[in-house]
Amino acid sequence: MPTTDAIYEAVEAREEEMVAFLREFLAIETENPPGRNYREGATFLAEAMRTRGYDVEIVEVPTDRVAEHYPERTDHERVNVLGRKGDNPSGRDEPGERDDLGGGGEPRESDEPGEGDDSGPHVHFTGHFDVVPAGEDWTRDPYTPTVEEGRVYGRGSSDMKSGITASLFAVDALEAAGVDIEGSITQSTTVDEETGGFTGLGYLVEEGYVSPDNTDYCVYTECFDASRICLGHRGVLKFHVSTHGEKAHGCMAHDGANAVAAMTDFLTRIETYEADLHERTTEQPVTPDASRRADISPTMVDAGYSENVVPDRCRATFYRVLVPGETVASARREIRELMADTEQATGQTVEYEEIMFAEPTTVPADCTIAETYTDRILDFYDETEPVVSPGSDDQRFVVNDAGIEECIVYGPGLLQQAHVVDEYVPIDQLVTATKVMAASTADLMGVVE
Ligand SMILES: [Zn+2]
């Protein structure tokens, strides 16, 4: 049986190759919005997986499905990539293909992962390859990645092309160290996470590519630092509220109904609501500590035509954050009640338009995958504490929608480097996270000393 030392050495031997791969990957400008060059990114990743012996499937999202989630953003293709190796994940193969796996020439009957299934666990690594726009203020070219003082600079280096790089090279290292892949490894690389993930990992879950039938353990390789795992995230509800009054000339304002006045009434109620939400704290280890509470912020306000017209319409946009234990449905109800109060107080119509939601998600710190990764992290750090993300990410699709609790977030990128100018990832983080992924995978498969 290979040793973990052999696995760690195999990762170290690949450091240069990993950095070169990451730089090539970062040079593909996959900014979202608007969602540029997804085809090019997917082709690069598909090729990387094919040369590593994965069975590769390109999963494109049909335009009508895109339109359901992004009605104004259907003008570019959504291209996701899925690669599998090892035994076929039990849920997605044809019965006839399983004869050599299930014993006795019979198709396996059990759909329970790990039960009646001697082919080992099915481990799924997933990451997104869209990046947020680089913006103007970089001191380097965001898409000409450079290496300086042990860091790789480039848009997406932390969030999160280094995560995808790590999971690919973790499996390379396992194989190089002589580990036989028991069960299966799936790598999925998806798009549109930065705009909600519905046409990325959300779509893969909807279509059954990630389900309890084919996935025992899932690692979402988002940037939470190689020194800790992330167990989940707060939820979010983004929406507009509009007030509808009546236009009038400013010199005869009495003839109108000022929509800004009604919005002021609503915003005052939101202020009280915000104070109440701050009392709704969570015991979950949300980082930073100040984010261990529910919240709401008005983020945009828009009204008016001219300085002499009483506006008949005012629209405000809100960002409501939910702590674990809250639901989007209950948050919607609370907003509706405040809207009804404003309608009653002002006599104006108040309208709600939802932009996007994500339910809060958390998995227990003592689930198998969390404990396995935690143990391996301690090979490199004196201590580690799991965190919960202040924002939302794609983990919710796997946990909430696919119903897979054995799903953590772990990757080499630094949270504080996500979405900033001159984004970088430290190379030692990349190497350490790759080692942790490789050794943890071997542990989950029970194939290491
Ligand atoms: Zn990300």
DSSP-derived secondary structure for 326-341: B-HHHHHHHHHHHHHH
* Residue 157: DSSP 8-state: I
Q: What is the pLDDT of residue 87?
A: 80
pTM confidence score: 0.88
Q: What's the rounded Cα separation, in Å, for the pair 366 and 405?
A: 11
**Ligand 1 centre from 73 Cα, in Å?**
20
pLDDT of amino acid 188: 98
Task: Report the alpha-carbon angle 313-316-322, nearest 5.
Answer: 150
Quote the ligand 1 centre to 160 CA distance (angstroms): 5
d(CA 411, CA 219): 9
Q: Measured in angstroms, how far is the CA atom of residue 90 from the centroid of ligand 1?
A: 29
Spacing, Cα 158 to ligand 1 middle (Å): 8
CA of 137 to the centre of ligand 1 (A): 20
Distance 93 CA to ligand 1 centre (A): 31
| 406 CA from centroid of ligand 1 (Å) | 20
Distance (Å) from CA 159 to ligand 1 centroid: 5
pLDDT of residue 446: 86
Between the CA of 128 and the centroid of ligand 1 the distance, in Å, is 7
Spacing, Cα 329 to ligand 1 middle (Å): 26
Instruction: Determine the pLDDT at residue 128.
Output: 98
Distance 416 CA to ligand 1 centre (A): 12
Place of tokens 């190379």: 427
Angle at 159 between CA 393 and CA 238, to 5 degrees: 35
The protein residues having their C-beta less than 5 angstroms from ligand 1 (an ion) are 159-160, 222
Nearest Cα to Cα of residue 202 among 86, 329, 356 = 356
Ligand 1 centre distance from Cα of residue 161 (Å): 9
Distance from Cα 358 to the centre of ligand 1, integer Å: 15
Give one word for 394, left, alpha or beta, with left for phi > 0 and alpha for psi -120 to 50: alpha
Q: How many angstroms separate the alpha carbon of residue 333 from the centre of ligand 1?
A: 30
What's the chain's length in residues? 449
At 120 the pLDDT is 78
Distance CA 246, CA 139 (A): 49
Alpha carbon distance 1, 3 (integer Å): 6
**62 Cα–ligand 1 center, Å:** 23
Question: Can you tell me the distance from the alpha carbon of 22 to that of 157, in angstroms, rounded to the nearest whole number?
Answer: 8
To 5 degrees, how large is the angle CA 434–CA 22–CA 51? 80
Over the stretch 75-91, which tens digit does the pLDDT of each residue have? 899 999 999 998 865 44
Task: For residue 222, report the distance from its CA to the centre of ligand 1, in Å.
Answer: 5
* All residues at 6 or more sequence positions from 429 whose CB lies less than 8 Å from its CB, including other chains: 162, 225, 226, 412, 413, 414
Which CATH fold would you assign to the domain 235-358?
Answer: Alpha-Beta Plaits (3.30.70)
Structure token pair of residue 250 = 């400013």
What is the CA(313)–ligand 1 centre distance, in A? 36
Ligand 1 centroid – CA 280 distance (Å): 27
Q: What is the distance in A from the centroid of ligand 1 to the CA of 216? A: 23
If you measure from the C-alpha of residue 223 to the centroid of ligand 1, how many angstroms do you get, rounded to a whole number? 7
The residues spanned by each domain of the chain are 4-233+360-445, 235-358
Closest CA to 130 of 39, 59, 66: 39
- Residue ranges of the chain with per-residue pLDDT less than 70: 88-118
SS3 for 353-417 is EEEEEECCEECCCCCHHHHHHHHHHCCCCCCCCCEEECCCCCHHHHHHHCCCCCEEECCCCCHHH
Alpha-carbon distance 345 to 359, whole Å? 31
Domain 4-233+360-445 indexed as CATH 3.40.630.10 = yes
State the Cα–Cα distance between residues 407 and 287, nearest whole angstrom: 19
